[in-house]
Structure 1
Amino acid sequence: MSTPPAHHPLSSHTHQHGPECGHVAIPHHDHTDYVHDSGLHRMHGDHADACANPTHTVHEQHDHQHGADCGHVAVPHDDHMDYVHDGHRHAAHDGHWDDH
Structure 2
Amino acid sequence: MTTLHHAHDSHSHTHTHGPECGHTEVPHGDHVDYAHDGHMHREHQGHWDECERDEHVVHEGHEHRHGQDCGHESVLHGDHVDYLHDGHRHAEHDGHWDDH
TM-score, with normalisation over the residues of structure 2? 0.91
* Equivalent residue letter for 2:69: D
Distance 1:6 1:64 in 2: 28
Distance 1:19 1:27 in 2: 12
Which residue does the alignment assign to 1:5?
3
- In the TM superposition, residue 6 of structure 1 has moved relative to its aligned partner by 1.5
Which residue does the alignment assign to 2:51?
51
- In the TM superposition, residue 37 of structure 1 has moved relative to its aligned partner by 1.2
TM-score, with normalisation over the residues of structure 1? 0.91
- In the TM superposition, residue 4 of structure 1 has moved relative to its aligned partner by 4.2
* Equivalent residue letter for 1:6: L
Aligned 8 A contact 1:16 1:43 in 2: no
Mind listing any 5+ residue stretches in structure 1 that lack a counterpart? Answer: none
* Equivalent residue letter for 1:70: C
Mind listing any 5+ residue stretches in structure 2 that lack a counterpart? Answer: none
Return the structure number with greater strand share. 2
What CA RMSD, in Å, does the superposition of the two structures yield over aligned residues?
Answer: 1.1
Distance 2:25 2:64 in 1: 23
Structure 1 vs Structure 2: percent identity of aligned residues? Answer: 61
Q: Which moved more, 1:61-70 or 1:45-54?
A: 45-54
